[in-house]
Amino acid sequence: MDTTLSLISPAKLNLFLHINGQRPNGYHELQTIFQMLDRGDTLHFNLSESDQITIEPNFKDIPLKSNLIYQAVVLLQQTISYKEKKPRKPGVHIQLDKHLPMGGGVGGGSSNAATTLLALNQLWQLQLSLEELALLGAKLGADVPFFVLGKNAIASGIGEQLSEINSETNKFLVVSPQIHSSTQEMFQIWDEWHEQNMLQLSAEDENPFLQIFLQKHPEVRAIFKELAVDEPFKLSGTGSTIFCRVKNDESIKKTLKKIPTKWRHFFCEPLQCSPLLTYLT
């Protein structure tokens, strides 16, 4: 039996995002397009003879039990105990090579959780189907089922209702102001603004969080306006990552000169499906 496994944990972009309302339980009804990218983190899994869950590095701002990777492991341990009708907690050591911005709206945490579910399903020989893993993933976050199933999709409901679509064909320029944007906080602000009719959205607005994010971060707003002169930049998710399609390599050169040196940026290609599916299904 294999005891080690290293997997890519891919990023995504929200090509648009609409909020259609709020459920009585507080969850928001939305519609979005998820596009998979060829950039991501890498996770290395090593089975342990003990029942311990260890994750490196240890992020100071994220308590271990709040880490979605940890939560994914615990959820599978609970699933094993339920299916086998006896407590069993196999251990694992996970090394995370973090490349995606945290709190950046490109799905890093959700993708890490989904990759963990897929990897341990194989290493622990659980034989759960993708559909079963997606249902488990929904308990961790609305984006996790998308990363488990691994195909570009229009998402509705709270993000769990997925309809597969074809990939984009243009590559993307992805820009990260290196600001941690809290999804929970951004939705709270949206609730307040929506209730007070403060959201002045036009038919062309493709993400209501762009207005909120730029209002919250004036230092980004000024640069965003400069970048948008040449290219139609958008916000992914609740931020902080902004992106544009690259249709002409020459025209993008002017844009690159306007990006502050302290901001991260990279070019990436769209994927039709997650690289995980080629050897985990």
What are the pLDDT digits (tens) for 20-39? Answer: 988 888 889 999 999 999 99
What would the two tokens of residue 274 be? 């997650």
3-class secondary structure for 214-272?
HHHCHHHHHHHHHHHHHCCCEECCCCCCEEEEECCCCCHHHHHHHCCCCCEEEEECEEC
- What is the pLDDT, as a whole number, of residue 278? 79
Please report, to the nearest 10 degrees, the dihedral formed by the alpha carbons of residues 202, 164, 186, 171 taken in order. Answer: -80
What are the pLDDT digits (tens) for 245-275? Answer: 998 888 899 999 999 999 999 999 999 999 9
- What is the pLDDT, as a whole number, of residue 50? 85
User: Residue length, the chain?
Assistant: 281
Q: What is the mean pLDDT of residues 196-217?
A: 89
- What is the pLDDT, as a whole number, of residue 160? 85
CA torsion sign, 109 to 174 to 264 to 240?
Answer: negative
Q: What is the mean pLDDT of residues 38-57?
A: 94
What are the pLDDT digits (tens) for 4-20? Answer: 999 999 999 999 999 99
What are the pLDDT digits (tens) for 227-253? Answer: 999 899 999 999 999 999 998 888 899
Please say whether the beta carbons of 102 and 109 come within 8 A. yes
What are the pLDDT digits (tens) for 157-200? Answer: 988 899 999 999 999 999 999 999 999 999 999 999 998 988 88
Residue 82 has pLDDT above 90, yes or no: no
Active-site amino acid positions = 12, 143
- What is the pLDDT, as a whole number, of residue 281? 61
Compute the distance between CA of residue 107 and CA of residue 114 in angstroms, rounded to an integer: 10
Average pLDDT taken over every residue of the chain:
92
Please say whether the beta carbons of 255 and 133 come within 8 A. no
Q: Write out the H or E segment, with its range, that includes residue 138.
A: helix 130-138
